[in-house]
Amino acid sequence: MNKKWWQNEVVYQIYPKSFFDSNNDGIGDIYGITQKLDYLKELGITMIWICPIYQSPMDDNGYDISDYENIHPDFGTKEDLEQLILEAKKRNIKLIMDLVINHTSDEHFWFQQALKDSKSPYRNYYIFKEGKDGHPPTNWRSVFGGSTWEKVPHEDNLYYFHSFSKKQPDLNWENPQMRQELYAMINRWLEKGIAGFRVDAINFIKKDQRFLDGDIDGSDQLSSCFDYCRNIPGLEVFFDEMRKETFDKYDCMTVSEAVGVDYPNVHSFIGEHGCFSMMFDFNYTNIDVENEDVFKPLNWSVKEYKELLFKSQTEIQKLGWSAPFLENHDQPRCVNKLIKDKKYHDYYGPTMLATMYFYLRGTPFIYQGQELGMLNFKRTSIEEFDDINAHAQYQRALEEGFRKEEAIEFLNNRSRDNSRTPFPWKDDLYGGFSKHQPWILMNENYHKINAMAQVQNPKSVYAYYQKMITIRQQSEYHDTLVYGTFEPLESDDEIICYKRCYAKQTVVVICNFSSQKKSIKMRSSIKKIILNNYRDIWFKECHLILNPYQSLVIEL
């Protein structure tokens, strides 16, 4: 693969509502990000991805866009965004935006016109269909629960389609005119000097045009929509056109959300003929639940996790580039999800996880607060949850026969609110995020876990991330850690061990993914210890003895 500028980036994901509130109304904003650029610069990241800041009724916190061209006033103005781009550039930080083009808000002008007038050209911008025998056109369940079909008011038997909430009607990608409008919008944004996009739910844009019922798989008598509107053949035709009409005209970076993509199909996403620069592979991310339902927890093992992780790396390496991540705004905190022994939640767990994923082949993404080792936050009743999907999953769990307390427990482990609590800047009122009560409950552990405390402490999770970034970006190991090949190494089931090779250099990453001491046989001698989350390193004969959750990066 030819070298590309975006392989060199380290991306930091910002959930703007929860990052920093500059005007004390309880909601994070664009100027808040600008004020914290120095913190990000210090950390060492080179690019930020901001979740949607466009005009929106906020049914799904901005993933329901009512105007692609304007900024939501809670977040600020277009001038604020221009200033952010400029100030970021001064610090050599690039910016990518979220691109949400599978659906719009139902309050978007196009959809409003489509509803109002059946003769309007905008009708065909969305998916309208007649019901059958008093029922919706198909029995598909939307991602946020309930039917994917919503009845059109004042029409006898007409429904519109939504993969997500009913306030997020899906665009009709079969319509070329609609597609052209999207491409023009994308190009207008790229002209403004952003570096590219994170592309939302893009594998949903093609629907199975047969509109067949699926097998019922829940007490709601519905069938998961995934088999009918996600990763459907024909997707690649839309991808090709979009790429030619937009991304190809700019030297931009794009990263696609790509849940549930099988490896034989990744070539339409990435690589020489793929649409995007890189993709988020969720095949090892959603290891803890079945079919993304929080009430279907899975008892996963490190061995399985390792197999999925290695498969992802080796398959993607064959043709393209990946975007390793541990967290995002839809995931719980990785420490709670992946470190089973709570004793190690404060330092060794988070730093081991960091080492494990950060040196994989690909452009690493860090989600806000991950660099502090932030943890999930326990809530006690459903009213305390903000996320639309938390409410949907709660309802479904009850329908499936779980008790309320059980449903809350599922949400505490898995709800998207876990990663959306306000960023803890310091041990002060509302964690220094705002002087006003934040829009969502604060994680109460901010007294202990906060940026100020960690920036001052050379033994913090933050300091570890900083060191990790410096090694990837600026050390003599840069080429190997960025461009080197990935090779899995055999080891104990609970040790994750791999190497990166480039020219004559070999770097090995060893992670003890357990609370037991483990030993690993060393076949060659160690040239240098590049990184260690413990102070020391122990040997016995030809074996390295690893402490619980110890991680090492070494040169052989």
Active site residues: 200, 257
Residue 164 binding: pick among ligand GLC, Ca ion, none (C-beta 5-8 Å cut-off by kind) = ligand GLC
330 near ligand GLC, rule: CB under 6 A: yes
Nearest to Ca ion of 24, 301 (CB atom): 24
φ and ψ of 141, to 5 deg:
-95, 135
- Residue 257 C-beta: closest distance to ligand GLC, Å: 6
The residues that bridge with 290 in the sheet, in sequence order, are: 293
CB nearer Ca ion, residue 138 or residue 434: 434
Minimum CB separation from ligand GLC for residue 327, in Å?
Answer: 12
542 within 8 A of 360, measured Cβ to Cβ:
no
Q: How far is the CB of 3 from Ca ion (least distance, A)?
A: 40
- Residue 84 Cβ vs Ca ion, minimum distance, rounded to whole Å: 14
Q: Could you give the CA distance from residue 556 to residue 529 in angstroms, rounded to a whole number?
A: 9
Phi-psi region of 446 (alpha: psi -120 to 50; beta: other; left: phi over 0): alpha
- Tell me the residue type at 91: R
Contacts of 205 (CB under 8 A, 6+ apart): 101, 102, 171, 173, 235, 238
Residue number with CB closer to ligand GLC (74 or 200): 200
333: helix, strand or coil: coil
Which residues have CB under 8 Å from 5's CB, separation 6+? 251, 253
Cα dihedral across residues 231, 233, 236, 238: positive or negative:
negative
Helix (H, G, I), strand (E, B) or coil at 411: helix
Q: Going by C-beta distance under 8 Å and a sequence separation of 6 or more, which residues neighbour residue 231?
A: 203, 260, 261, 262, 265
Residue number, 128 or 430, with CB nearest to Ca ion: 430
> Is residue 60 involved in binding ligand GLC (CB under 6 A)?
yes
Question: Quick one: 164 or 295, whose CB is closer to ligand GLC?
Answer: 164
* Residue 63's binding partner out of ligand GLC, Ca ion, none, with CB under 5 to 8 Å set by partner kind: ligand GLC
- The SS3 of residue 63 is coil
The yes or no reply on residue 63 touching ligand GLC (CB under 6 A) is: yes
Residue 150 binding partner per list Ca ion, ligand GLC, none, with a CB distance cut-off of 5 to 8 Å that depends on partner kind: none
Residue 200 interacting with ligand GLC (CB under 6 A):
yes
Q: Which does 21 bind (CB under 5 to 8 A by kind): ligand GLC, Ca ion, none?
A: Ca ion
Cβ distance to Ca ion smaller for residue 22 or 254? 22
User: 200 contacts which partner out of ligand GLC, Ca ion, none, CB within 5 to 8 A by kind?
Assistant: ligand GLC
CB of 157 to ligand GLC, least distance (A): 28
Site string for ligand GLC, 3-42 (x = CB under 6 A): ----------------------------------------
CB nearer to Ca ion: pick between 24 and 456: 24
**CA 72 – CA 304 distance, rounded (Å):** 43
Query: Taking Cα atoms as reference points, which of 144, 259, 276 lies closest to residue 203?
Result: 259
- The distance of closest approach from Cβ of residue 29 to Ca ion in the complex, given in angstroms and rounded to an integer, is 4
Helix 348-358 × helix 461-474 angle, to 10°: 20
Give the one entry of ligand GLC, Ca ion, none that residue 417 binds, where binding means its C-beta sits below a cut-off of 5 to 8 angstroms depending on kind.
none
Coil, helix or strand at residue 487? strand
Nearer to Ca ion, 21 or 170 (CB): 21
**CB neighbourhood size of 502 (10 A):** 16
Please list, in sequence order, all residues whose beta carbon lies within 8 angstroms of the beta carbon of residue 101, skipping any fewer than 6 positions away: 171, 182, 186, 199, 200, 202, 205
Which among Ca ion, ligand GLC, none contacts residue 60 (Cβ within 5 to 8 A by kind)? ligand GLC
Q: Which residue is nearest to ligand GLC (CB)?
A: 63
Name the residue nearer to Ca ion (CB basis): 32 or 373. Answer: 32
Say how many C-beta atoms besides its own lie within 10 A of residue 119's C-beta: 7
Number of residues that bind ligand GLC (CB under 6 A): 9
The length of the chain is 556
* CA 171 – CA 55 distance, rounded (Å): 17
For binding to Ca ion (CB under 5 A), which residues are involved?
21, 23, 25, 27, 29
Q: 529 by DSSP, 3-state: which?
A: strand
DSSP-assigned letter for residue 438: -
Q: Which residues contact 60 (CB under 8 A, 6 or more apart)?
A: 144, 164, 165, 167, 168, 388
Nearest CA-CA partner of 250 in 63, 50, 6, 87:
6
Q: Taking Cα atoms as reference points, which of 397, 394, 396, 456 lies closest to residue 426? A: 456
Does 258 sit near ligand GLC (CB under 6 A)? no
CB of 100 to ligand GLC, least distance (A): 6
Residue 546 carries which DSSP code? Answer: E
Q: From the CB of 324, what's the least distance to ligand GLC, in Å?
A: 17
State yes or no: residue 327 binds ligand GLC (CB under 6 A): no
Smallest separation, CB 546 to ligand GLC (Å): 35
Interface with ligand GLC, residue 281, by CB under 6 A: no
Does residue 201 bind ligand GLC (CB under 6 A)? yes
* Residue among 80, 150, 257, 288 that touches ligand GLC (CB under 6 A): 257
Q: Which does 201 bind (CB under 5 to 8 A by kind): Ca ion, ligand GLC, none?
A: ligand GLC
Question: What is the footprint of ligand GLC within residues 203-242 (CB under 6 A)?
Answer: none
Q: Is 100 in the site for ligand GLC (CB under 6 A)?
A: yes
Contact partner at residue 25 from ligand GLC, Ca ion, none, CB < 5 to 8 Å by partner kind: Ca ion
Asked if 164 is part of the footprint of ligand GLC (rule: CB under 6 A), the reply reads yes
The site for ligand GLC (CB under 6 A) is made up of: 60, 63, 100, 164, 200-201, 257, 329-330
